[in-house]
Structure 1
Amino acid sequence: MTIRTTRRFPKAGRKRGLAPAIAIMSTVPLGIAGAIGVGIARVNTVETHTSCTVSEKEDRALASLDKREPRVYTDCGVFVVADEPFRFHFGAADVYNELQAGETVDLTTVGWRFGLFSWFPNVVDVEVAS
């Protein structure tokens, strides 16, 4: 009795070459460049919201427990107050302290609202509305 063993070898002509490696090597830098571009565009989008009445602001300690920036709720929308290192703005605590519930203010913000990543516009300047 003869026992046959079969070996399976890859078929000839199925060489993949460098195409997958080149595709990956070109996709990763494009993704990184896109992320940097979105970050730059986000901090360069400056808006002024006038006559916004502050209805409530979160406690900084409670927000830090959730590891996020404190939010400010107004009739113009929801905003966060955080430092913006790309704009050399490091006065978030002072800006947050200027906001008082029930006060009508003019807000200067950077960024935009993007629900998928829970992004909110960031308040960088506050002036009491006259």
Structure 2
Amino acid sequence: MASRPSFRDRAVVIRSYDFGEADRVIVLLTKHNGLVRAVAKGVRRAKSRFGSRLQLFVNLDVQLYSGRNLATITQADTVDYFGAQIIDDYDKYTAACVMLEAAERLSLDNDPYLYESVIYTLAKLQSTEKPMLELDT
């Protein structure tokens, strides 16, 4: 049996949803591999090693291995967490969610510019007073 190829990339969490009893599917916008749907096994258990890293507004350094339909996350390290100021402010949260959904729909190819612009916008949303104006720039 041949081993599956693994790859490492920078990624931002776009969306997540529960899968099975203890797993979660994480949709990642990666820098070099575009949009990747991956399963995080056991992430919903109390002693999960991923836990809070795989949530919205987190920039990650992830290692994945390819599967038939879904990749599997084997390692995730937090690079930046943008949620501290975004989650507590309704306007910032709304603007950030709109931006993540737009990024998911616009990700056609492996475009590193889209990833970089999402990270830049999340960073700007942390400190802005008018978050909706940041989406226009």
Kindly indicate which of the two structures has a greater share of residues assigned to strand. 2
What TM-score do the two structures reach when normalised by structure 2? 0.44
Higher Cα radius of gyration? 1
> How does the TM-score come out when normalised to structure 1?
0.46
